[in-house]
Amino acid sequence: MSTTNYGEIYGLLLLQGKSQDQALQVMSAIGTLPIELQDVSAQRSLRAAELKFNYKLYYVDAFAAALAIENKATLVTSDSDFRKLGHNFPILWLKTSQ
């Protein structure tokens, strides 16, 4: 997971009304999952910018896509904006309870 997206999760939790302590507990739980955080490199930021431009993605979403493409990995998301990418790489769609 890109550190950019990791930070976005924390911010979304706060926007949803979670206290800082609650949000940090969720982030701690994420830390127990078999997920490796990847820092943003100059090359990755350029790839993300290209994806943002070509597919009209939010920049932070473009980091998730860039990382998945770079690692030939499956993108796991519930964000329908990623449908804009078509079938360029595998996406595992999560259902939300909203």
Enumerate residues 6+ apart whose C-beta is below 8 A from 19.
Answer: none
Mean pLDDT computed over 35-50:
95
pLDDT band at 38 (very low <50, low <70, confident <90, very high): very high
Mean pLDDT computed over 39-43:
95
Q: For 53-88, what is each residue's pLDDT tens digit? A: 999 999 999 999 999 999 999 999 989 899 998 877
| Domain residue ranges in the chain | 3-93
Q: What is the DSSP string of the chain?
A: -BHHHHHHHHHHHHHTT--HHHHHHHHHHHHTSS---BPPPHHHHHHHHHHHHHHT--HHHHHHHHHHHHTT--EEE--GGGGGGTTSS-EEEPP---
